[in-house]
C-alpha cells in the first residue's frame, strides 16, 4: 500500500527533455517552484501520486562501479542532502535526454520532486519522484462577460492521466531501494523499455507479484508449448488446464506447489512433464524456483486475459470455454470432411 495522505511536497523542479535523436533541445531550469495556492498544490499531488496504488515494485539493478552517472547514484545523493537538489535534478534530466534517441520517443516536461513522510507498506520514509509529460489534451474554456459568453480552446495536461512516473522510496536501500513505476505510453515495441530499463535501469522486485506473474507465465507456456495436438493432447484438455490454473490462483491466498500439482496436475506423467518444463523455463529466465508464496491479486488480474480458454475455428468462430469441459465434445464429420465441436447447455442468453 502506498499512501501520500500526510506527505509534503518540499522540492519541485521542471525541465524540458526533448528527443536527442531528432535534434530537439534539453532545457534546464534554475528554479525550485514554490506552490502557495492550496488548490493547485492538492491538484498537483493528486496528479503525481494517484496512479501509484498497486503491489508492483521495482528495484535498481546491480550497480556498475565504473558508471556513476545513473539515477540510483543521483537518488542516493538527494536522500543524503537536498542542498544540491536543482543540480542533481539537472543531471537526471541530462541522463534522460541521453536515453531519448529513438525517433518515436516524445519530448516533454520532466518533473523532479521530493516528498517528505510517505507511507509505503507501513514504512514512513522520504521519496523522490521523477515524472514526464508526453501528451497534451485539448480543452475548452468558457468566459462570461455580463450576459454574454465567449469560448476558446487551449492545450494542457490531463490530470487524470500520468504518462510516465517513478517514485523511489528511501527504504530497502541495500536491495536497490523500493520503487513504484507508471508508464502508460509503452506500446511501441522499439522503445517500450526506454523508461523502465534504459533510463531508470530497474527490474521487478522479488515479491508476491513477481512470483505469481512468473508462475502464471510458466503455466501459460506449458499449455501452449507442451499440451498440443502434436503431443496427443486435445485443445479441450489444454483449455481445461488453463481454466483450472486460473481458478486456482483466483481462489487461493497462498501458493503451494504440492497443492497445485494435486489439484491441477493429478497424473504423475503430467506432473513430471510440468516439472521439466518449469526447470527449463527458470533456467532460461534466470529464475529461482519458489514453491511457496503469497498470491498477488494484482498479478492474477493483470494476467487473466492471457489465461482465457478460447478455441479459434478457422476465421469464422471463437468458442470461449469457462468451465464444464465435459459439456464439450469434439469429433470429425466423414461426409463433410471437417472437424466439429458439440456443446451441451441448459439455458440460452442472447444478450
Choose one of 146, 174, 203: the last residue of a domain.
203
Rounded mean pLDDT of 62-82?
81
Is residue 350 in a domain?
no
Tell whether 165 and 289 lie within a shared domain. no
In tens, the pLDDT along 265-308 reads 888 888 999 999 999 999 999 999 999 999 999 999 887 765 55
pLDDT-wise least confident of 72-81, 120-129, 324-333: 324-333
Confirm whether 348 is domain-assigned. no
Does a structural domain hold residue 141? Answer: yes
Q: Is 324 helix (H, G, I), strand (E, B) or coil?
A: coil
Same domain? For 184 and 213 the reply is no
Domain assignment present for residue 351? The answer is no
- CA–CA gap between residue 21 and residue 325 (Å, rounded): 54
Q: Are residues 104 and 191 in the same domain?
A: yes
Instruction: Identify the three-state secondary structure at position 94.
Output: helix
Give the model's confidence band at 326: pLDDT under 50 very low, under 70 low, under 90 confident, else very high: low
244 and 337 co-located in one domain: yes
Same domain (yes/no): 235, 167:
no
* Averaged pLDDT, 227-249: 79
CA 124 to chain centre: 24
181 and 246 share one domain: no
Could you tell me if 239 and 155 lie in one domain?
Answer: no
Does some domain include residue 127? yes
- Of 181, 203, 225, which residue sits at a domain end? 203
95-99, 172-176, 323-327: least confident range: 323-327
Mean pLDDT over 242-248 rounds to: 84
Residue 283: the pLDDT is 94
What contacts 321, CB < 8 A, 6 or more positions away? 236, 239, 243, 309, 310, 311, 328
Residues 197 and 214 in one domain: no
Structural domain for 243, as ranges:
209-343
339 contacts 312 by C-beta, under 8 angstroms? no
Q: Which single residue is written with the C-alpha cell 515524472?
A: 131
Which of 8, 10, 9, 14 is CA-nearest to residue 31?
14
- For the record, the C-alpha cell of 228 comes out as 498440443
Average confidence (pLDDT) over 184-208: 87
Q: How confident is the model at residue 302, as a pLDDT?
A: 84
Residue at which a domain ends, from 203, 221, 254: 203
Domain match, 125 and 246 both: no
Name the residue among 106, 73, 103 with its Cα closest to residue 91.
Answer: 73
Say if CB 328 and CB 341 are below 8 A apart. yes
Provide the H-helix boundaries in 65-204.
71-80, 85-99
Say how many domains are in the chain: 2
Tens-digit pLDDT profile for residues 162-181: 999 999 999 999 999 999 99
Residue 66 has pLDDT above 50, yes or no: no
Inside any domain, residue 18: yes
Q: Are residues 249 and 184 in the same domain?
A: no
Instruction: Give the pairing of strands 137-145 and 148-156.
Output: antiparallel
Segment 46-65, tens digit of pLDDT: 999 999 988 899 999 976 54
3-class SS at 59? strand
Cell matching residue 25: 533541445
Q: Quick one: 231 and 174 in the same domain?
A: no
Decide if 349 is inside a domain. no
pLDDT at 324: 61
Quick one: 44 and 130 in the same domain? Answer: yes
Taking a C-beta distance cutoff of 8 angstroms, is the pair 22, 200 a contact? no
Q: Give the pLDDT of residue 65.
A: 47
CA dihedral 236, 237, 238, 240 (to 10 degrees): 90
Amino acid at each position: 500500500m502506498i499512501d501520500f495522505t500526510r506527505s509534503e511536497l518540499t522540492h519541485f523542479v521542471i525541465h524540458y527533455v526533448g528527443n536527442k535523436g531528432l535534434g530537439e533541445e534539453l532545457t534546464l531550469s534554475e528554479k525550485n517552484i514554490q506552490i502557495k495556492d492550496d488548490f493547485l498544490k492538492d491538484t498537483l499531488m493528486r496528479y503525481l501520486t494517484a496512479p501509484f496504488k498497486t503491489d508492483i515494485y521495482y528495484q535498481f539493478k546491480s550497480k556498475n562501479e565504473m558508471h556513476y552517472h545513473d539515477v540510483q547514484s543521483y537518488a542516493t545523493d538527494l536522500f543524503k542532502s537536498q542542498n544540491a537538489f536543482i543540480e542533481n535534478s539537472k543531471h537526471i534530466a541530462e541522463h534522460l535526454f541521453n536515453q531519448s534517441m529513438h525517433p518515436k520517443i516524445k519530448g516533454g516536461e520532466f518533473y523532479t520532486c521530493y516528498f517528505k513522510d510517505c507511507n509505503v507498506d507501513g514504512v514512513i520514509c522520504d521519496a523522490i519522484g521523477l515524472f514526464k509529460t508526453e501528451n497534451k489534451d485539448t480543452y475548452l474554456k468558457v468566459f462570461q462577460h455580463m450576459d454574454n459568453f465567449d469560448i476558446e480552446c487551449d492545450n494542457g495536461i490531463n490530470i487524470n492521466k500520468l504518462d510516465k512516473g517513478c517514485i523511489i522510496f528511501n527504504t530497502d536501500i541495500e536491495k536497490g531501494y523500493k520503487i513504484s513505476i507508471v508508464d502508460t505510453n509503452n506500446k511501441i515495441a522499439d522503445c517500450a523499455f526506454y523508461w523502465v530499463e534504459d533510463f531508470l535501469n530497474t527490474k521487478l522486485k522479488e515479491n508476491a507479484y513477481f512470483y505469481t506473474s512468473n508462475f502464471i507465465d510458466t503455466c501459460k507456456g506449458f499449455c501452449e508449448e507442451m499440451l498440443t495436438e502434436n503431443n496427443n493432447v486435445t485443445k479441450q484438455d489444454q483449455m481445461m488446464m488453463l481454466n483450472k490454473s486460473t481458478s486456482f490462483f483466483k481462489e487461493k491466498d497462498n501458493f503451494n506447489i504440492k497443492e497445485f500439482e494435486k489439484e491441477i496436475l493429478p497424473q504423475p506423467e503430467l506432473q513430471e512433464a510440468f516439472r521439466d518444463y518449469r526447470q527449463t523455463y527458470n533456467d532460461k529466465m534466470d529464475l529461482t524456483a519458489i514453491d511457496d508464496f503469497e498470491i498477488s491479486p494484482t498479478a492474477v488480474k493483470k494476467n487473466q486475459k492471457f489465461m482465457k480458454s478460447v478455441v479459434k475455428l478457422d476465421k469464422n468462430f471463437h468458442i470461449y470455454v469457462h468451465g464444464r469441459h465435459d459439456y464439450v465434445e469434439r469429433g470429425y464429420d466423414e461426409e463433410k470432411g471437417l472437424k466439429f465441436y458439440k456443446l451441451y447447455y441448459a439455458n440460452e442468453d442472447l444478450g
